[in-house]
Amino acid sequence: MSDQDSRGRARGRSRGLRGDSASDDSVRRPREHGTAPYTTQPPHHAGRAGSREHIPEEPEQRPSSQPRSGSGGRASSFTREAPQERSVVPHGRASFHGGAAAQPQASTSRAPAPGAGPSIREGATVGGRGASRFREQRESVIVTRPSADFDKLGRIGQHVPLTSNYFELIKRPDMHLLQYRVDFTPDVDHIGARKALIRVHEATLGKYLFDGTLLYNINRLPQPLELFSKRLSDNSDVTISFRLVGEIHKEDATYTTVMNIILRRCLGMLNLTLWKRDYYDPASATEIPQHFLNIWPGYVTTIRHHEEGFLLGVEIIHRVLRRDTALDVMNKIRQAGGDFQAMCSAEMLGKIVMTHYNKRTYRIDDLDYTKNPQSTFHLRKEDRDISYLEYYKKRYNIDVRQPTQPLLVSRPTRRDANRGDDQPIYLIPELCGMTGLTDDQKKNFGLMRDVGNITRVTPDKRVESLMKFRRRLADNPDIQKELQSWGLDFAANVVRIDARIIPPQTIQQGGNSFPTQEGDWSRNIQRSRMCVSVELRDWILFTPAQMSHEVRPFVEMIQNVGRSQGFDVPDPIVVQMQADRTSNYVDAIRSECSRREFSLIFCVLRSARADTYSSIKKLTCAEFGIPSQVITGRNIKGVQGKLMSIATKVMIQIASKLGAEPWRVLVPSTKWMVIGYDTYHDARQRKAVGAFVASINPSFSRYYSSVKIHENNEEISPSFKDHLFGALKAFYIVNEKTLPGAIIVYRDGVGAGDIPRLKDTEIAALKDACSEAGTRTNYMGNGIYNPPIAFIVVSKRINTRFFNMDGRCPSNPVCGTVVDNKVTLQERFDFFLVSQKVTQGTVSPTSYNIVEDQTGITPDIHQRLAYALTHLYYNWPGTLRIPAPIQYAHKLAYLVGESIMQQPHDSLSKLPYYL
């Protein structure tokens, strides 16, 4: 729980940092698969089953004592969507409970029973909402490029050839397709069941594609049209209505959807397993027996139009599977002693489990100790009450071993309730496998190393896997027949692109400057003075009395390294505590700070404890407004060389929190303001924390910060006006009553679908704040202040990868590599930037999408500015994957959302106390 990045470790994105399943926004429940036919929901009900897991991102930095690692594909917990048995709902709505879905594993490929032949009736009245969905598909492309002829290519830098994880489409469909909205009466919610009911009518429909709602074919069907199929469960008719909602030509954007449906149909022929949207290869799974884990490799595939044509993107991903059940976790808690129910709630709530019998995933929202497997529910299909024990024996031939275990509860979300699915789902812990890695597992260095050795795929192995995937498509006769029937074909090799390497940045320190070497200058700073130092006056150190003999030499080491860099560290006031409970720290800090003022509070913890850390931060940052530093005992022990490195980073962090500038980057002298914004989401409290950080000096090395707590857990901030107005006020005071000449915003965590709302909300709020600031300051004598604004969405979680092919085998591109052609998107003003060097795995580029730009600055300046800002994060003497303002915003959002959960003290707004 140390707040110092003494090993250079960043904490990932703000959202979902509590664990694999903690973030509500990273959880999507898939489309409802039927509502439950029970007064008490049975455990096999899949209406709301879905993954609420969070895919942890790779750290943005790694300890200097360890090699930095890149992406090896996303490593995440296990989830699968499988067909389920359905029944009739109490309020009369019908759902499919027979036919193809009667045997869940066969629903996507099994035809209805013999005799259920097609029946056609013309002239029937047909309903449907396909037309509106068709319009939504047409409008889904978000254009951020200023104009079609706008040149977004940079010119500066050394050109270098690269390859990427894309295959060109050398042939694509040239058919005139018709698009039909398909509705089922009674309603059939399961997509696999829908496909099976339609498959029997292939002679009538001709060659077609069906995604569960929309059907595409080349034959014009009579309008209106109804067909009939039979359900095997009750031999009743299901009416299938087809309504023409669009005609698709080769140049139409919706054709992309069609090509992706064709591709996914082909992937289904490779004996891969579909989980959520991606396919995994269980035959190539890797077992880690010492940690009871399995890792499945998989593929993310998408066909999309890029700069010069359509490309097939393929990314290698991984899923991590655990072997323990929810009951195993509960038994461990029981053996540990204490308040069993409270400890189970703390450990289990918010986690994702996977049922063994049908591979569905559910979020645990509660535990019901009044129910157990011997309890009964009403099985409407048979119109009788049945126990969970009997149900599982009869339905799945499973004997539940512990009949007295409490049941897990998965509650419906608001979206589920709006669909009429308002009943909870009850699950038996014994039959639910845990997904994702626990906090203890994430702290297990050996486990994470073993997992990383598999998931961090090196560039040569990644390219080898890409080519193997392509060969599997080419060598499968059924896939080739399918592709040829639609006129679709892909190039045999990955695409080649022209990239550039931006000139290296120059790091400035007191009386010294040097170019960066591969994004790392940790050795250089140990021999140079800081650009701007500060005075550390009175500071106080709290430590357990038993650790005082270890703390003293560590403080002396901090003083020595600080002296060499121009930061004088006096002896602290040391408070030795006889016990190290949370209350001991809180009482000692409050007692000492009530008697005198301190510049810094330094706390040494025996071990990492979240409650103690949170209490210290809440007290120092919110109540007293004093920067604080927390470090654990293991960081002040070790060999001399390692301690020196840790002491140097702790010293730099302390100095930075007090306002020092350890280094600067040589940038043009402008009065621009750069802004970083990020959001932390707390799924447990249903709140979000929006953190805003803005530069207030020309070198982008000093920042103003503000925080807003969003009670409704919004991602798009309703408080941008307040944030910017406070930043403009701070800038006005620091810069002799002048305001920024331009404002450049780097925004993290926004998907393409949110860009229109972002423009209407956040960008509009920025303009309102500028206008109000001009009026209040009577700017330029007329009160008009409308600075040019650039708003850039920064995305780390992307599937694009690049490979340098100069050597004997593929390798990672070097720091400063920019790609703004071929694989960028035609409708965007965007570019990719590789700003970090990694020594393990494949480096992950960062995507920059300039959604609005009134500044008129060239693409070269945008690219070079973004790269320069990756050098200005004072917790790490090296480059980041993202600009420093975003990382600062992330750190602030995480600190407030995870530990403080209230507004920090106003006196800290101009200090990076959140480092």
- The DSSP string of 280-315 is E-GGG-EEEGGGTEEEEEEEEEEEEE-SSSEEEEEE
**8-state DSSP, 252:** S
What's the N-to-C CA distance of the chain in angstroms? 13
Q: How far is CA 834 from the centre of its chain?
A: 19
Count CB atoms within 10 A of the CB of residue 255: 21
In angstroms and rounded to an integer, the radius of gyration of the C-alpha atoms of the chain is 30
Q: Taking the domain 535-657, which CATH number applies?
A: 3.40.50.2300
Question: pLDDT grade, residue 601 (50/70/90)?
Answer: very high
Question: pLDDT grade, residue 415 (50/70/90)?
Answer: low
Q: What is the dihedral of CA 832, 834, 839, 841, to 10 degrees?
A: -10
Relative to beta strand 846-853, strand 539-544 is: unpaired
All residues at 6 or more sequence positions from 302 whose CB lies less than 8 Å from its CB, including other chains: 260, 312, 313, 799
Homologous superfamily (CATH) of 671-794+848-904 is Ribonuclease H-like superfamily/Ribonuclease H (3.30.420.10)
Question: pLDDT grade, residue 438 (50/70/90)?
Answer: confident
Average pLDDT over the chain, rounded to an integer: 82
- Please tell me the class of the 1-81+322-436 domain: mainly beta
Among 85, 580, 748, 898, the active-site one is 748
Among 623, 715, 768, 827, the active-site one is 715
Q: To which H or E segment does residue 757 belong?
A: helix 755-758
CATH 3.40.50.2300 maps onto the chain at: 535-657
Q: So what's the pLDDT on residue 31? A: 30
The yes-or-no verdict on residue 288 having pLDDT over 60 is: yes
| Rounded average pLDDT over 533-547 | 92
Q: So what's the pLDDT on residue 713? A: 77
Q: So what's the pLDDT on residue 81? A: 30
* Rounded distance between C-alpha atoms, residue 270 and residue 672, angstroms: 54
Beta bridge partners of 408: 367, 427
Alpha helices of 715-754 — where are they, by DSSP H? 720-734
Tell me how many degrees the CA angle 435-439-440 measures, rounded to the nearest 5: 105
The yes-or-no verdict on residue 322 having pLDDT over 90 is: no
By C-alpha distance, which of 7, 839, 877 is closest to 522?
Answer: 877
Q: State yes or no: is 748 an active-site residue.
A: yes
Q: To which H or E segment does residue 439 belong?
A: helix 439-443
Q: So what's the pLDDT on residue 419? A: 56
* Rounded distance between C-alpha atoms, residue 548 and residue 542, angstroms: 9
Q: Which segment of 54-68, 327-341, 572-586, 668-682 scores lowest on mean pLDDT?
A: 54-68
* Rounded distance between C-alpha atoms, residue 831 and residue 519, angstroms: 20
Q: Are 223 and 243 in contact (CB under 8 A)?
A: yes
Count CB atoms within 10 A of the CB of residue 610: 11
Q: To which H or E segment does residue 777 belong?
A: helix 764-777
Question: pLDDT grade, residue 703 (50/70/90)?
Answer: very high
Torsion-angle region of residue 349: left (phi > 0), alpha (psi -120 to 50) or beta?
beta
Q: State yes or no: is 715 an active-site residue.
A: yes
CATH 3.30.420.10 maps onto the chain at: 671-794+848-904
Among 3, 57, 890, 898, the active-site one is 890
Long-range contacts of 857-860 (CB under 8 A, 24+ apart): 857/742, 857/790, 858/154, 859/151, 859/152, 859/153, 859/154, 859/820, 859/829, 859/831, 860/154, 860/155, 860/156
Question: pLDDT grade, residue 161 (50/70/90)?
Answer: very high
Omega of the bond leading into 83 within 30 degrees of 0 (cis): no
* Rounded distance between C-alpha atoms, residue 816 and residue 844, angstroms: 13
Omega of the bond leading into 698 within 30 degrees of 0 (cis): no
| Rounded average pLDDT over 801-814 | 91
For 355-397, how does the pLDDT look when each residue is reduced to its tens digit (9 = 90+)?
888 777 788 999 999 999 999 998 877 788 999 999 999 888 9
Q: Which segment of 53-57, 589-593, 631-635, 780-784 scores lowest on mean pLDDT?
A: 53-57
* Rounded distance between C-alpha atoms, residue 352 and residue 330, angstroms: 14
CATH 2.170.260.10 maps onto the chain at: 1-81+322-436
The yes-or-no verdict on residue 501 having pLDDT over 80 is: yes
Among 53, 678, 830, 852, the active-site one is 678
The token pair that represents 103 in the structure block? 């045997």
